[in-house]
Amino acid sequence: MLEALWITVKLAAVTTLWLLVLGTPLAWWLSRTRSNLSHAIEAVVALPLVLPPTVLGFYLLIAFAPQSTLGQAWQALTGERLAFSFSALVIGSILYSLPFVVQPLQAAFRQLPEGLLQAAASLGASPLDRAASVVWPLCRPSFIAAASLGFAHTVGEFGVVLMIGGNIPGETQVLSIALFDRVESLDFDAAHSLALGLMLFSLVTLFLLYRSSGRWSVRL
C-alpha cells in the first residue's frame, strides 16, 4: 500500500511540474490571443472535464501500443516500452488534468492589466523580466491554485489510469486503483483505510486552497 502511495505522489508531482511548464505558456497565449483557433484549443483543453475518463484512456491505450507510431517513436528514443509504463501514466495525467491548471491561470492572466506590462516594458523590462517581476507576483495565488488543483486532480484520477496503467504494483498501481483492487478481492478493511485517506487528502487540499486564496489575493 505504501508503494501505491509513493507512486501516486510521484505521479502527481511529476504531472504538476509538467503541467506548469506546458500550461503556463498555453494559458498566456489563450489569454492574449484574438485568434479564432484559440476557441478550438480551449475546447480541447476543457474536454477532460466532460469526457468519461475511459474514453481518453481508450484512445491513449491505442496510441501507446508498441505497434503504434507513438509507441515506436518512444521505443526508438528511450529504448523503453511506453505502454503500461510510468511515463504513459504521466502523459495521460497531463492531458487529463490540463484544464485544472490552464483555466485558473488563463483567468488570472486575463485579469492582469495590459497597462502594467506596458509600463514595465517602457522602463526596460524584457518579456522574461516582466514575467518574473510583474506577472508572477501578481498571479501567484492563481499559480498556487492551479498547481494544487492539478496535483489533487491527478491523485483522484482513476479511469485513465485503469485503461493505460495496467495495474502493475510498484510501477503503475496508484492508490485509486489499489482501492479498486481491494474491493474486487473483498478486502474491505484495506479499502476503508485507502478511501478514507484519499478523502481526507482531497478535503485538506481544497481547504488549504480556499483559505490561501483569500490571504494571497493582491488588489489590482
Q: Which residues bind another protein (CB under 8 A)?
A: 113, 115-116, 118-127, 129, 133-134, 137-138, 218-220
Tell me how far, at minimum, the Cβ of 190 lies from another protein, in Å. 48
Select 50 or 123, whichever has its Cβ closest to another protein: 123
* Cβ-based neighbours of 97, under 8 Å, separated by 6 or more: 15, 16, 19, 48, 149, 150, 153, 154, 157
Select 126 or 185, whichever has its Cβ closest to another protein: 126
Tell me how far, at minimum, the Cβ of 24 lies from another protein, in Å. 19
Tell me how far, at minimum, the Cβ of 136 lies from another protein, in Å. 10
Select 129 or 187, whichever has its Cβ closest to another protein: 129
DSSP string, 93-162: HHHHHHHHHHHHHHHHHHHS-HHHHHHHHHTT--HHHHIIIIIHHHHHHHHHHHHHHHHHHHHT--HHHH
Select 126 or 193, whichever has its Cβ closest to another protein: 126
Tell me how far, at minimum, the Cβ of 127 lies from another protein, in Å. 8
With contact defined as beta carbons under 8 Å apart, do 174 and 8 qualify?
yes
